């Protein structure tokens, strides 16, 4: 174990379990410990950069030090700085100052010294900062060329051969690659190419909210759509019907599995691209953001050898991440774990994972029915979408299996009435259901620039009792400000808020065909359940997020 990893553990930035995972992780030769930590996502990039600066005595970069043009481009190639996540800042006759996220990579630093023929001075920055600045510099240099090339290619007759030729032109390939790299550097989960009157808009979803990334001429936008369709094996000549495709691409630091959906609109084809990390690094149940009592409750329910655990929430609320963390917690060589997913987002070593294919009849229901003959101990069903899947899943839990699954409901109590709506008999739900986890994702305040503000006495009285009990110290809220680390938004990353409804004898007696979710929720709260609103208020008091964010994601409840 390196001294730096030991230091991170001593300073409580890494847990013992995370250290063991890092040590066991199989990595390519020459990958440093710092790079492994960056790839794992165990530590926030800004927190890691701050600790590296302290440990190695290297100054963090100042906003004024970012270059407005490429430095020594004749000696240090774009490919090199992209691959190794370094950015030359300023050079004189004897020295070159470079922004790095990994100051321990001596091979890269030696290459920079030899190529520049200068002494190397370091400034620490986060990976995201460096990659976004690299893309901005390259876009500044090449953007006009791409636009000019795009304008010169008329699409008066969009036949298949012409579309394919245009999509294979170097400027179009570079454009699509750049959009993917920028989306990865910005931590985007989705990228959208949306045709409009006289232009094609490119937007990306970061921390749950959409933001504009580029505006393209119509010809270039259509060529970019064709390029994306070629990458994912779709028919570029078919523009009248929706299509779905998948591919694996490398964008910036990570490989991504991308899921692409096209849809015809009045101005042309709209494309939605979902980025899924192609990684074997599964989430840690201890790092989900559960309050200690919630974490203890979830672990206790997951340790049963039969029954059903449901995670609920809207699309994009982190349900799959929570299920993957529970699976990793349960992962044991003495058990057989099998998942049925669409798509497989986390590849978990030791778990048999099945990707459904509805086009050939491999659906959740048909796969689950056949799966019971393969002697599984624990089954994860990505989503209970229909009555047949729900009934088979409940029967599987009844016959000695632990079943993990998701539902789209607004609250934990709503999962029970949803199962009844899907045709599952109430007495079977009461017999098999162990707990329901409801969750939402909120934007996390940037820890560098957040600002505290005092709250009035009237507001203090409105704080839910469970939130007030959890928080120690004076009641104060925090608000976003905006700085270089968060690109001026005041937010950096996302955090989850939870409620966990554990089924006890009182609740089992309430589960009847005509029961309402409100009655179940009231009883669960009386039994001590912390609501999502209460968990959210506690995280506001702790400076994790804002009350506006809690209102935004819980307003539908």
Cα–Cα distance measured from residue 191 to residue 183, given in angstroms and rounded to the nearest whole number: 7
Alpha carbon distance 268, 396 (integer Å)? 46
Question: Domains in the chain and their CATH numbers?
Answer: 3-125 (3.30.300.160), 130-277 (3.30.450.90), 285-441+496-533 (3.40.50.300)
Q: State how far the Cα of 436 lies from the Cα of 263, in Å rounded to an integer.
A: 35
pLDDT at residue 465, rounded to an integer: 67
**CA atoms of 375 and 340, how far apart (whole Å):** 15
Q: What is the 3-state secondary structure (H, E, C) of 351-362?
A: CEEEECEHHHCE
Please tell me whether residue 223 adopts helix, strand or coil conformation. Answer: helix
375 class by beta-carbon count within 10 Å (0-12 exposed, 13-18 middle, 19+ buried): exposed
- How far apart are the C-alpha atoms of 172 and 146, rounded to whole Å? 7
Tokens of 163: 């579309």
Strand partners, 244: 261
Q: Residue 145 has what pLDDT?
A: 40
Residue 14's CB is within 10 A of a number of other CB atoms, namely 21
What is the rounded CA–CA span in Å between residue 438 and residue 303?
Answer: 19
Query: Helix/strand/coil (H, E, C) string of 299-336?
Result: HHHHCCCCEEEEEECCCCCCHHHHHHHHHHHHCCCCCC
Alpha-carbon span 120 to 384, nearest angstrom: 56
Task: Compute the distance between CA of residue 509 and CA of residue 521 in angstroms, rounded to an integer.
Answer: 14
With vertex at residue 556, the alpha carbon angle to CA 551 and CA 557, rounded to the nearest 5 degrees, is 90
Pairing assessment for the beta strands 451-454 and 476-479 based on DSSP bridges: antiparallel
Using the 8-state DSSP alphabet, how is residue 99 labeled?
E
Tokens of 103: 């100051």
d(CA 207, CA 463): 26
For residue 159, give every residue at least 6 positions away whose Cβ sits within 8 Å of its Cβ, in sequence order, or none: 237
Give the number of other CB atoms < 10 A from CB of residue 542.
16
Neighbours of 155 (CB within 10 A): 15
Triad 524, 290, 24: Cα angle to 5°: 140
Return per-residue pLDDT of the chain as tens, 557 residues. Answer: 578 888 888 888 888 888 887 877 644 446 788 888 877 777 878 888 999 999 999 999 988 899 988 999 889 988 888 888 899 999 999 999 999 999 999 889 999 999 999 999 999 998 878 887 887 787 666 544 444 444 433 333 444 555 565 566 667 888 888 898 888 888 889 999 999 888 899 999 998 899 998 888 888 888 899 889 988 888 888 888 999 988 888 776 667 888 899 999 998 999 999 987 655 568 899 999 999 999 999 999 999 999 999 999 998 899 999 999 999 999 999 999 999 998 888 888 889 999 988 878 888 889 998 888 888 999 999 999 899 999 999 999 998 999 999 999 989 999 999 999 999 999 999 999 999 999 999 999 998 899 988 776 666 666 666 665 665 666 678 999 988 888 788 998 899 999 999 999 999 999 999 889 999 999 999 998 999 998 998 899 889 999 889 988 887 55
493 three-state secondary structure:
strand
Spatial separation of the C-alpha atoms in residues 451 and 466, rounded to whole Å: 24
136: nearest Cα among 189, 77, 199, 70? 70
Q: How far is CA 555 from the centre of its chain?
A: 22
Q: Which helix (H) or strand (E) holds 149?
A: helix 127-152
Q: What is the DSSP string of 340-383?
A: EESS--S--TT-EEEE-BGGGTB-HHHHHHHHGGG--SEEEES-
pLDDT at 153: 38
| Paired tokens of 147 | 């636009």
| Nearest CA-CA partner of 384 in 416, 413, 411 | 416
φ/ψ of residue 250, rounded to 5: -105, 125
Question: Residue 252: which of 126, 125, 131, 136 has the closest Cα?
Answer: 131
Which pLDDT score is estimated for 325? 94
353 - beta bridge partners? Answer: 339
pTM: 0.70
């Amino acid at each position: 174990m390196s001294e730096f990893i030991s230091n991170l553990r001593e300073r409580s930035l890494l847990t013992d379990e995370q250290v063991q995972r890092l040590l066991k992780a199989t990595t390519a030769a020459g990958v440093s410990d710092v790079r492994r930590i960056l790839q794992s996502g165990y530590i926030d990039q800004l927190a890691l950069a701050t600790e590296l600066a302290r440990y190695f005595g290297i100054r963090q970069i100042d906003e004024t030090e970012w270059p407005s043009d490429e430095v020594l481009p004749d000696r240090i190639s774009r490919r090199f700085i992209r691959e190794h996540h370094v950015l030359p800042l300023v050079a004189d006759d004897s020295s070159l100052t470079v922004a790095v996220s990994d100051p321990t990579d001596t091979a890269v630093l030696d290459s920079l010294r030899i190529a520049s023929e200068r002494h190397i001075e370091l400034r620490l920055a986060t990976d995201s900062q460096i990659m976004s600045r690299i893309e901005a510099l390259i876009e500044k240099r090449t953007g006009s060329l791409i636009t000019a090339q795009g304008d010169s290619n008329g699409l008066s007759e969009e036949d298949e051969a012409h579309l394919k030729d245009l999509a294979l032109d170097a400027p179009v390939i570079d454009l699509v690659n750049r959009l993917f790299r920028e989306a990865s550097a910005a931590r985007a989960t989705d990228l959208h190419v949306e045709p409009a009157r006289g232009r094609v808009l490119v937007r990306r979803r970061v921390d749950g909210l959409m933001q504009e990334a580029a505006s393209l001429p119509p010809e270039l936008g259509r060529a970019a759509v064709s390029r994306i369709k070629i990458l994912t094996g779709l028919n570029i000549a078919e523009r009248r019907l929706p299509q779905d495709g998948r591919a694996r691409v490398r964008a910036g630091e990570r490989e991504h599995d991308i899921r692409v959906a096209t849809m015809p609109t009045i101005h042309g084809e709209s494309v939605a691209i979902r980025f899924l990390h192609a990684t074997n690094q599964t989430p840690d149940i201890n790092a989900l953001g559960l309050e200690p009592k919630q974490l203890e409750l979830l672990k206790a329910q997951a340790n049963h050898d039969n029954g059903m655990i449901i995670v609920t929430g809207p699309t994009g609320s982190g349900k799959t991440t929570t299920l993957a963390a529970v699976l990793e917690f349960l992962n044991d060589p003495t058990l057989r774990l099998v998942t049925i997913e669409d798509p497989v987002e986390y590849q978990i070593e030791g778990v048999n994972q099945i990707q459904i294919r509805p086009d050939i009849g491999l659906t959740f229901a048909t796969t689950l029915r056949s799966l019971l003959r393969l002697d599984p101990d624990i089954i994860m069903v990505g989503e209970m979408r229909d009555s047949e899947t729900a009934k088979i899943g409940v029967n599987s839990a009844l016959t000695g299996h632990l079943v993990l699954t998701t539902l789209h409901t607004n609250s934990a109590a709503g999962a029970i009435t949803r199962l009844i709506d899907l045709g599952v008999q109430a007495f079977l739900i009461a017999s098999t259901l162990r707990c329901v986890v409801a969750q939402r994702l909120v934007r996390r305040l940037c820890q560098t620039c957040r600002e505290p503000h005092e709250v009035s006495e009237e507001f203090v009285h409105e704080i839910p009792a469970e939130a007030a009990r959890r928080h120690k110290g004076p009641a104060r809220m925090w608000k976003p400000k905006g700085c270089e680390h968060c690109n001026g938004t005041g937010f950096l990353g996302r955090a989850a808020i939870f409620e966990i409804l554990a089924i006890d004898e009182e609740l089992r007696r309430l589960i009847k065909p005509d029961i309402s979710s409100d009655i179940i929720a009231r009883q669960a709260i009386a039994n001590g359940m912390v609501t999502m609103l209460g968990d959210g208020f506690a995280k506001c008091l702790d400076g994790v997020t804002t009350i506006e964010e809690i209102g935004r994601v819980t307003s539908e409840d």
